[in-house]
Chains A and B, each alone.
Chain A
Amino acid sequence: MEKYRINPSKGLELGLYTLGDHLPNPHTGERISAQQRLNEIIELAQLAEQAGLDFFSVGESHQDFFTTQAHSVVLGALAQATDKIKIASSSTIISTLDPVRVYEDFATIDLISDGRTEIVAGRASRVGNFELLGYDLRDYEGLFEEKFDLLRQINEEEVINWSGEYRAPLRNARILPRPKEGWMPIWRAVGGSPGSARKAGYAGVPMFMAHLGGPASVFKRTIDAYRDAARQGGHDPAELPIATAGFFYAAETSQQALRDLYPHINEGMKRTNGQGFPKQHFAQGVDPHNIMNIGSPQEIIEKILYQHELFGHQRYIAQMDFGGMPFDRLKKNIDIIGAEILPAIKKYTAQK
């Protein structure tokens, strides 16, 4: 775990992530400018740091209603704007980028941030980036696997000899600069299905597991599949960190939390995905066994602790800014996390 800059004795890491969505506030129908949204993301990371959170990450989506397409540039700004918090992508769509350029960018961000940077690489659930950036969707799997392997090889070896199908060969190529410690954590983004988790496990790569809603026990199968595949691949699961990522919202009562959050999720998903979030399913989100961390601070603490007991994961990252959530609400949530949720989670998960 130390290799991945994670110290389990300090307890479960908590963080925030944003997809960088740029959606109207459903209550007013108004949308802030892309510039304001970017500035607010940077401020959100600063507030997260001040509240004592461990981690902040930014996603890459090339489609309407998003604003962090150039996510590594945003992370460069975050590196400068913060001092302690770990920063990362969530995720970098490595399939349609050049791993050499990605590594150069992130190693640079790692140096600027003084060794706080990580890469989470994914395959994209929406695929507008393929045509936009000049790739064939038929190579969806092949592009990811090859480029992800190359990215990991660059992380391990400073001088690269490599040839593959989707990129010009590299002959004694020195990929510079190197990260502060010569190496940085690279995670595989997993959409929640056991099949995808197995691929991360076989390769012995840390898993970043995103989840929408549903019983936590269903996601336990994905976690088990990951660790099982890791063992089969000759890796020690105890040395491989797991992060989970999903919706979060705290308010005085769970009813208030549902009321505050629902229109943002429902309208936001309609715009970005074509289908809203059914109320019946959302109402189940406050159940202690549901993986969505929505409710009163105390309920959320219990949920996160339950998930930690079930999964034995090392990091949970919360998405609270989706769908045009007003910034004052985000601030209030960070206050609640810093004052109530974070201290309780650390207290109960740190090894004494």
Chain B
Amino acid sequence: MKVVGLSGSIVGSKTRTAMDYTIEKLKEKYPDIETELIDLADYDIQFSDGRHYLDYEGDTKYVTQTVMEADALIIGTPIFQSSIPATLKNIFDLLPVNAFRDKVVGMLATAGSPKHYLIVEQHLKPILGYMKAQIVQTYVFIEEEDFYQKEIVNHDVLFRIERLVEDTFVLTETYQKVREAEEAKYDF
């Protein structure tokens, strides 16, 4: 199983901080799985121009290919202007139709205001649903006050992230078993 963490912004530190903790937790609880964290701030990614993702080069090809080869994703996103950042939307735009078929996707959001709590529900989930992801329904919502000097200081958030990690793993494993059992029935 390969789980890829995607930190969806190129500015700020809160989402990266939360994603670092998430991937650490994942490694600690499931040392046998493969994990990789992609922080979009570390890559130079071009805007989608409609071509097939394998036809890009450099960072754009690396990131899209890594996402496509994952069994599960944990997406971390800040909330900008009441939506997901353009950098994250661009990743979705770079990928083909049905890109998340047979993939489990968990989510966490960092925000400067509690008013943004439903943005994940209203903006991110519809995209993932359209792209055929198996969504981990419960996401982690983290606010400004939960961070102090690039650390998460709210234990409730830490517990929630731990549960997100567990749920993502369990669902990925479960869907994989279900799929294998279903495919075995076809006899071809």
Contact = CB atoms under 8 A, between A and B. Distances in A.
Interface of A: 125-128, 137-138, 140, 255, 258-259, 262, 273-275, 278-280, 282-283
Given A127-B52, A258-B188, A279 B96 contact: no
B182 interface: yes
A273 B188 contact: no
Query: Secondary structure of the A side of the interface?
Result: helix
6 contacts: A127-B51, A127-B52, A258-B186, A274-B52, A275-B68, A275-B96
Contact of A255 (B96, B102, B187): B187
B186 A274 contact: no
A280 B188 CA distance: 11
Contact of A280 (B53, B98, B182): B182
Contacts, number: 44
Given A125-B52, A127-B52, A275-B68, A283 B186 contact: yes
A259 B188 contact: yes
Interface string B93-120: 0001011011000000000000000000
Closest 7 CB pairs of A and B: A258-B188, A259-B188, A127-B51, A279-B183, A262-B188, A126-B52, A127-B55
Nearest to A140: B50
B49 interface: yes
Interface in B11-63: 49-55
A255 B188 CA distance: 7
A275 B98 contact: yes
Contacts of A255: 187-188
Contacts of A283: 186, 188
A19 B187 CA distance: 28
Contacts of A273: 52, 54, 96
Chain B interface residue number, banded? 10 to 19
Interface of B: 49-55, 65, 68, 96, 98-99, 101-102, 182-183, 186-188
B55 A128 contact: yes
B16 to A, nearest CB: 28
A280 B53 CA distance: 24
B154 to A, nearest CB: 39
B188 A278 contact: no
Given A275-B96, A283-B188, 18 more contacts: A126-B54, A128-B55, A137-B49, A137-B51, A138-B49, A140-B50, A255-B188, A258-B188, A259-B187, A259-B188, A273-B54, A274-B54, A275-B68, A275-B99, A275-B101, A278-B101, A279-B183, A279-B186
Contacts of B98: 275
A200 B65 CA distance: 34
B134 to A, nearest CB: 13
A250 to B, nearest CB: 15
A140 B49 CA distance: 10
A251 to B, nearest CB: 11
A283 B102 CA distance: 17
A259 B188 CA distance: 4
A262 B101 CA distance: 18
A258 B187 CA distance: 9
